């Protein structure tokens, strides 16, 4: 599939100019003359240098890799059809669609971008964190940067004891059962060749606890809306978890809130200060 430099550059310019700062969670600022987003703003959203992104728009430089095109598609809040079009212009075959896809829908991103002062994350069906707000990172740690099977919370839960440190010990047994029962339900729905089926096979081989719970044949045990997290600096926080499911992408937006005036609410406010200090 050939690289269409002119078509790629024109498409990127059009999509960049069609987006406004508030569409992607950025402040508009004063004396803004640029139509749409600036190149440096898009580059920051895509986690790449401004020079690299600018060269693509100017029809220069080497062919962008699939990883770079995927990052640009996500940063520009493209739909799946637009993402696939971008891949073809860049000379690549579009990624397969399905429950294992990591491209987040523009609608869910618009909601997520407005939750900057709230702990929130977007996860896959097998518990992989795709995006976290800064306060979610302060609460749970940086989960987006994990790679391999360890990206999945159920995998970490049964293979790394440290994964349980952020959760109240009284909830560990229930959470273990929930993770296993949900994995069984998703694996049955997606089939033997799915990522979750592969994950279950790995855990059955490596974790006696997972294997014993798997053999109990429980399916889709309900997850409690109340989460008790244990943070190393502020202690235990009791938070309510609200979920928004995107059925087309099989992604879940998790938003954690505390009852106003409660001790957990005060701890969450303290955590926002600690998180901001850590980032600076």
Calpha distance 201→221 (Å, rounded):
20
Based on DSSP, count helices (H) and strands (E) in the chain, helices before strands. Answer: 12, 5
pLDDT of res. 278: 60
- The reply to whether 189 falls in a domain is yes
Shared domain for 184 and 134, answered yes or no, is yes
The two three-digit tokens of residue 267, written as one number: 């701890």
Q: Which domain holds residue 31?
A: 5-89
Claim to verify: residue 61 and residue 120 sit in the same structural domain:
no
Task: Please indicate, yes or no, if residue 98 is contained in any of the structural domains.
Answer: no
The total of structural domains in the chain comes to 2
Task: Say which CATH number the domain at 45 has.
Answer: 1.10.260.40
What residues contact residue 220 under an 8 Å CB cut-off, 6+ apart?
Answer: 181, 182, 185
pLDDT along the chain (280 residues), means of 10: 93 93 80 82 93 94 93 93 95 80 90 92 93 95 93 95 94 96 91 89 96 92 90 95 88 96 95 70
Residue 143 pLDDT: 96
Inside any domain, residue 154: yes
Looking at the structure, tell me whether residues 40 and 69 fall in a common domain: yes
pLDDT for 197 equals 92
What is the reported pLDDT for 184? Answer: 93
Q: How many residues does the chain have?
A: 280
Specify the pLDDT at position 99: 60
Task: Note the pLDDT of residue 276.
Answer: 61
Contact assessment for residue 166 and residue 140, using Cβ atoms and an 8 Å cutoff: yes
Place of tokens 């579009």: 94
Domain boundary among 89, 118, 151: 89
Q: According to the model, what pLDDT value does residue 244 have?
A: 94
pLDDT of residue 234: 94
Whether the model pTM is above 0.95: no
Beta-strand ranges (E) seen in 49-183 are 120-124, 129-132
- Give the pLDDT confidence score for residue 100 in this predicted structure: 63
Q: By the 8 A CB rule, do 272 and 117 touch? A: yes
- pLDDT at residue number 277: 62
Using the 3D structure, point to which of 89, 117, 133 is the last residue of a domain: 89
Query: In angstroms, how far is CA 134 from the centroid of its own chain?
Result: 12
Q: Round to whole Å and give the CA distance between 177 and 185.
A: 12
């Amino acid at each position: 599939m050939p690289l269409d430099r002119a078509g790629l550059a024109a498409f990127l310019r059009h999509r960049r100019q069609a987006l406004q700062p508030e569409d992607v969670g950025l402040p508009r600022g004063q004396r803004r003359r640029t139509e749409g987003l600036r190149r440096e703003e898009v580059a920051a959203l895509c986690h790449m240098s401004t020079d690299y992104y600018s060269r693509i728009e100017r029809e220069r430089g080497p062919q962008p890799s699939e990883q770079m095109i995927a990052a640009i598609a996500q940063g520009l809040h493209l739909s799946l059809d637009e993402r696939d079009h971008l891949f073809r212009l860049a000379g690549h075959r579009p990624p397969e669609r399905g429950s294992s896809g990591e491209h987040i829908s523009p609608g869910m991103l618009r909601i997520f971008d407005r939750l900057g002062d709230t702990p929130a994350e977007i996860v896959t069906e097998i518990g992989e964190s795709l995006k976290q707000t800064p306060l979610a990172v302060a609460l749970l740690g940086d989960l987006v940067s994990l790679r391999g099977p360890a990206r999945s919370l159920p995998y970490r839960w049964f293979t790394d004891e440290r994964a349980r440190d952020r959760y109240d010990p009284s909830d560990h047994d229930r959470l273990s059962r929930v993770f296993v029962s949900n994995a069984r339900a998703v694996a049955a729905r997606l089939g033997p060749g799915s990522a979750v089926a592969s994950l279950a096979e790995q855990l059955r081989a490596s974790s006696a606890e997972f294997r014993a719970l798997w053999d109990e044949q429980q399916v889709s045990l309900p997850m409690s809306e109340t989460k008790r997290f244990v943070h190393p600096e502020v202690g235990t926080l009791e938070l309510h978890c609200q979920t928004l499911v995107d059925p087309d992408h099989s992604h879940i937006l998790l938003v954690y809130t505390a009852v106003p005036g409660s001790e957990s609410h005060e701890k969450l406010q303290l955590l926002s200060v600690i998180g901001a200090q850590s980032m600076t």
